[in-house]
Each structure stands twice: as structure tokens, then as C-alpha cells.
Amino acid sequence: MKAKSRLKLPRSYSPYLDVRETEVAIKLIKDSFQRKLSKALNLQRVSAPLMVNAHTGLNDNLNGVEKPVSFTTKDGSQVEIVQSLAKWKREALHRYGFLPGEGIYTDMNAIRPDEVVDNLHSFYVDQWDWEIVITEAERNLPFLKRVVRKIYRIIRDTERDICKRFPSLPGPFLPSRIHFIHSEELQKMYPDLSPKEREDAVVKTFGAVFIIGIGYPLKDGLPHDGRAADYDDWITITEKGYHGLNGDIIVYYPLLDQAVELSSMGIRVNSKSLLEQLEFRGELHKKDLPYHKRLLSGELPLTMGGGIGQSRLCMIFLRKVHIGEVQASVWPQETMEECLAAGIPML
């Protein structure tokens, strides 16, 4: 079946950095960002798996419909390529003996074969996955917002550093502050727009936003975006009767004139919210999986965490118009031909 294309081509485009300069800049961005992230959140780098056993329940179901790449080993084990490490990190924090206020980060590489590729989406995903141990007293919205502000400050500082290092790039465009808004509030503001159209509208106003409560159904019965039931807490009631202790960092990107999601993160489910969310989604059968049993028994620590897109960050910092300019992946032939014709150099 032919892959669908949602490619957005600029009328005229000339990269600010050539391919070799781009590769140098990518390394600088990644080295700098992870160093700052580690310091700000007290994170230790750890090794991470590319694959997990399918029966453990450790793989991320994302929106609940994506099918992971899988294979059978010679001993008959069913193995899946990870789609993210949302649950693996929580188990690792327990196994490694991390305490409240301590955390981990890792380079997460995933394959998502069901992705519809475009300027921002690829079959290959690379991100910093991070997770910290928290206390019961920190399972609240103010704590979530404090961590979001720390991460956004790192994003903004890195953008300024890269602009200074490469004078051929335009100056920084990210605003000094990030604006917080609940997905339920966002729907009230733009009732006639789709979720993605709402994101475009709100970031054009504020420049950078954190949309809170992604996964819980809105008044039309649909969530702002999909979230699996077994990692982020999207059901807990917070301020003003709104739901959710999770969300996305989204910024306005002038080169594509649209919203770009840079990070998905949140406070993770505890035993109570896990059962509520599994029941809400009709997935109570998952409570018998090994990972879910450990969580429900109180064996696993309370945590919060997320993923920060490495290629997404590199793309906007270096003012690229396609993610294929900062990562080597596989693209439909039509996409390759269109990008070549538009002067977009793919790695």
C-alpha cells in the first residue's frame, strides 16, 4: 500500500547551513541539550533497549492503535521494537534503586511503521526519554508546571546558544515564557476547529504553550490527542474541574507556519488512576500483565517523565523545513523526488 504524503513545500528554500555544517551543529545541539537536561533534573544517563519481550506489557501502545515492529527469536520468544520507553524507564528506576528527586535519561530510538510521514514525522523516532522518581506530595499540577518551565528554559537557552555559534542562522524566535492551557479550555476557545487547528491557533498567539490533559475525552467525546491508559495520568481532576497531569510542549515554527510538538510528558499513573484509566478504555485485562501487576501492587515508584524529540529540536534550531534534513531515515520515493525538486537536502 502506498504511503500517504502530507508534505509541505516552501515556495523558495535555501538551507542556512550545508550538510557538513548541519552535522556539526546536530552534535553540538545534542551534546549541549542533554548536559543541561541532566543538570536541571538531576538525571543519570543509562543504556536503553531497542526491543522488549511482547508479553511483558512494557512497550508503549502510544494511541492504542499503532502496531509495533515485531519478530520471533529462535527460541520462540515474541519480541517487539520499542515505540517509546515510557514504562521501561519506571521499572528501571525501581531496579536500579533510584530515590525521590533522582532520575534517568537515555537515547530512545524507535520504529513506528504506522506513522504518516511528512515534514515533522518519520518512521524513525529519536528522542531523549527521561524519568524521575517523585513523592506523593509532588503528584500535582504545580509540580508538573515547574518541571515544564525548566525544560522549556533549556530549549530556549539552547536555541540562543546555537544562533550565536552559527551566525548565518536567523536570530532566536522562541518567546521567553511558555503559556499553560488545558485541552478543555482550548476546545472552548476554538470549538469549531480540530485539535491540530487549535494548536496552530494558540501557538500563533503565545509562541509556546503546554497543553494540559491529553487523553481525557473533551465535550465532543474525543480527546485532544491519544494517550495510552497505562503511563500518563490523564484522568485525575486538577484545577477548575479539568482533568490530567500530563501534556505537550508545542511551539510556533515560522518556517512552516504551524505548531510543532517538541515534547510529550507527564506525571505517571498511580495504582488508582491506572485502574480508572484501564476501565475507562475497556482494557482491564491488561492489569494481569507483569508490569501492570507490579505497579498495582505498589512495587514501582511514583514517577514523572517524558520524551523530547531530538530531530525535532535540531530541525527548528537549524531552521530546516523537513525532518529528513537532520536525520537519516527511509522516505517514500515521491517524498524524495519532491524534496529534491524543492532544494531540500535529505540526509
**What phi and psi, each to the nearest 5 degrees, are found at residue 51?**
-145, 155
- Extended beta strands in 36-123, E state: 43-45, 51-53, 70-72, 78-81, 103-111
Label each residue of 184-214 as H, E or C. Answer: HHHHHHCCCCCHHHHHHHHHHHHCEEEEECC
229-242: string of b/e by CB count within 10 Å (b at 16+)?
bbbbbbbbebeeeb
Residue of 83, 84, 127, 310 marked catalytic: 127
Residue of 84, 90, 112, 159 marked catalytic: 112
> Which secondary-structure segment (H or E) carries 246?
strand 246-253
If you ran DSSP here, which 8-state letter would residue 178 be given? P
| Whether 192 is catalytic | no
If you ran DSSP here, which 8-state letter would residue 339 be given? H
HSE-CB of 277 using CA atoms within 13 angstroms: 30
| Whether 127 is catalytic | yes
DSSP string, 123-150: SEEEEEEEEEE--GGG-SHHHHHHHHHH
| Whether 333 is catalytic | no
| Whether 261 is catalytic | yes
Residue of 84, 122, 183, 264 marked catalytic: 264
HSE-CB of 262 using CA atoms within 13 angstroms: 24
Residue of 248, 263, 310, 327 marked catalytic: 248
Residue of 21, 161, 261, 338 marked catalytic: 261
Which residues, including other chains, have CB under 8 Å from residue 207's CB and lie 6 or more apart?
173, 174, 175, 179, 251, 252
* Strand-by-strand arrangement of the 78-81 sheet: 51-53, 78-81, 70-72
Q: Catalytic residues, which ones?
A: 60, 112, 127, 248, 261, 264
